[in-house]
Amino acid sequence: MRVDTVNDSMSPFILCIDQGTTGSTAVLLSSSGEVLAKANREFPQHYPQPGWVEHDLDEIWQSVLDSIADVFAKSGASPKDCAGIGITNQRETTIVWERKGGAPIHRAIVWQDRRTSSRTEELRASGYEALVRERTGLVLDPYFSGTKIDWILNHVDGARARAQRGELCFGTIDSWLVWRLSDQAVHVTDATNASRTMLFDIRRGAWAEDLAALLRVPMAMLPDVKSCSERYAVTQRVPGLPDGIPIAGIAGDQQAALFGQTCFSPGEAKCTYGTGAFLLMNTGETAVASEHGLLTTVALRLGGRTTYALEGSAFIAGAAVQWLRDGLGLIKDASEIEALASSVASAGDVVFVPALAGLGAPHWDPHARGLLWGLTRDTTRAHVARAVLEGIAFEVADLALAMVEDSRRSIGRLRVDGGVSQSDLVMSLQADLLDVEVDRPSNIETTALGAGYLAGLAVGVFTDLDDVVRAHRIERSWKPTMASEERTARLLRWREAVARAKSTEASR
């Protein structure tokens, strides 16, 4: 358990529930945008077979209840003074439960799970990739929810017939939490989570019946799709909470972070540097089709209007620092890397390509391998440490530059969060490589903040988007200082290193 608190006025406030892949976090957010308190509870991961990842829903629910209890206990706030609840969640993770009684018929199948790879390959071979891409903005991949639902219906006795009779519900984690918090009163999701299912027509803003038929998902299972900020339901019979608190904000984790970073205008972007890196750019009311393997997704539905985003992910970011510590033993603690890397003026000729789990967008080469290139007898552990940090900035630059080409719109500024965003060295280089200002907020709990802002708008704690902008605080900014000639030369050397890291098939 981890709990942090700060002193602030306790009323009114929003309870933000950030249900993540490895733990659940509760945050209390004041009307001035201050985090009053936060608490986290982890829960177990289940791996029945190689490539399979599952969550036990009872364990998730208990982690949510425990984190809520912890945050109120440590903050001194009273649950009866809570003005509303915002929810953000791990996306794509798939749950099927009984409409009557609410019992899950199978463990949740997590977004990381690869068990439906053969099914997505079958659909691709049958020529459905273009249809899925056009309707949903997604690629055919087991990452998304659609084929997971089909798998559950195929492998639980009688499930498909029950689903067709309307006896079963499907939902991502947000849907299931609202169902539990409202004592089974409401079966809803929001447009951002719906857009990650491979069943949602992002341009029409509605479930696509033909895709549901293709993926063998009965329409009767699907939740109602709502905006990201409205009163969906109220709490009923939730341990530790009074009845009647409005549940009023929902967004998938990366979209919530985009909103939490107040990226409200086209061209504004955020990058979350966690184990991997997730970059989203607001493209306004245009769903931009990517020519670089990026995803087109719903960023926000608010006030009857849908905002879209381009999304790209790098598989390895903070995980590269963990590898340097655990795999190579060059550092004893992750916190050491900044000082070690900063002890040299540059990485010399050393370039690190973080393809430790293949390369994602815009390269999409699962067989690429990590590369340390340019080693000489003068290379020290400090040069390697610096090259590792720089490699994270370079791969994010690849994503951002692909977004600029796809959207034909420059990035106004890049707002950053996540563990690696605490590296001043990485953030400074990020500004230089992209030739844009990089802003780091004073509070990097931007996923929870986004959910809290959305709920606060629905219940009147925040008046409008200008009110949200005023609540958002930037702790530090970096402006680019690198000369254009040096930027060009460094990007060219990076691209040469990436070409060497790619598999033979991808290089052809």
Tokens of 111: 């977004």
Please indicate, yes or no, whether residues 133 and 269 belong to a single structural domain of this protein.
Answer: no
Could you tell me the mean pLDDT of each successive run of 10 residues in the chain, 508 residues long? 44 90 90 88 88 92 96 90 94 93 93 86 92 91 91 94 94 96 96 96 95 95 96 95 96 94 92 89 92 92 94 86 88 89 92 87 83 93 93 94 91 89 93 94 87 95 89 90 94 94 62
Backbone φ, ψ for residue 101 (5° rounding)? 105, -35
Whether 250 is in a domain gets the answer no
Distance CA 211, CA 436 (A): 40
Residues 60 and 201 in one domain: yes
Residue that terminates a domain, selected from 211, 244, 277: 244
Residue 158 neighbours by CB distance under 10 Å: 11
Sort 437 into a burial class: Cβ within 10 Å, 0-12 / 13-18 / 19+.
Answer: middle
Please indicate, yes or no, whether residues 232 and 275 belong to a single structural domain of this protein: no
Sign of CA dihedral 223, 226, 232, 238: positive
Residue 190 belongs to what H/E stretch?
strand 188-190
pLDDT tens-place string over residues 341-377: 999 999 989 999 998 878 887 887 878 889 999 999 9
Same domain for 318 and 189, yes or no, is: no
Question: Quick one: DSSP state of residue 324?
Answer: I
> Is residue 202, in this structure, part of any structural domain at all?
yes
**Does residue 63 sit in the same domain as residue 101?**
yes
Rounded CA gap, 308 and 26, in Å? 27
Asked whether residue 460 is domain-assigned, the answer is no
Amino acid at 108: A
From 244, 270, 287, give the residue that closes a domain: 244
* Residue 8, pLDDT score: 43
Residues 221 and 317 occupy one common structural domain: no
- What pLDDT does 11 receive? 65
Q: Tell me the two tokens of residue 440.
A: 């780091």
| pLDDT for residue 480 | 95
Beta strands 229-234 and 246-252 are: antiparallel
Identify whether 456 is part of a domain: no
Which of 178, 212, 244 delimits the end of a domain?
A: 244
Query: Residue 12 is part of which domain span?
Result: 2-244
**What DSSP element (H or E) covers 164?**
helix 159-164
Total domains in the fold of the chain: 2
Whether residue 310 is contained in a domain is answered as yes
Residues 6 or more apart from 323 whose CB is under 8 A from it? 316, 356
Residue 323 and residue 192 share a domain: no
Instruction: Indicate whether 238 and 276 sit together in one domain.
Output: no
| Within-domain flag for 414 | yes
Are the C-beta atoms of residues 254 and 309 closer than 8 Å to each other? Answer: no
Q: Residue 35: inside a domain, yes or no?
A: yes
CB 103 within 8 A of CB 154: no
Other beta carbons within 10 Å of 408: 8
In this predicted structure, what is the pLDDT of residue 506?
47
Q: How far apart are CA 195 and CA 484, in angstroms?
A: 38
Specify whether 236 is located in the same domain as 376.
no
- 26 plus 132 within the same structural domain: yes
- Residues near 402 by beta carbon (within 8 Å), at least 6 away in sequence: 290, 292, 293, 294, 312, 361, 362
Does a structural domain hold residue 467?
A: no
The size of the chain, in residues, is: 508
CB 412 within 8 A of CB 268: yes
Q: Is 497 helix (H, G, I), strand (E, B) or coil?
A: helix
CB atoms within 10 A of CB 11: 12
Tokens of 78: 């009273």
Torsion of CA 389, 395, 398, 400, to 10 degrees: -70
Structure-block tokens of residue 93: 């993770």
pLDDT of residue 233: 96
User: How far apart are alpha carbons 106 and 349 in whole angstroms?
Assistant: 52
Determine contact, residues 222/199, Cβ cutoff 8 Å. Answer: yes
Query: Quick one: DSSP state of residue 163?
Result: H
**pTM exceeds 0.85:** yes
* 228 in the same domain as 148: yes
Smallest CA-to-CA distance from 421 within 400, 402, 399, 396 is with 396
Mark whether 300 and 333 lie in a shared domain: yes
CATH number at residue 434: 3.30.420.40
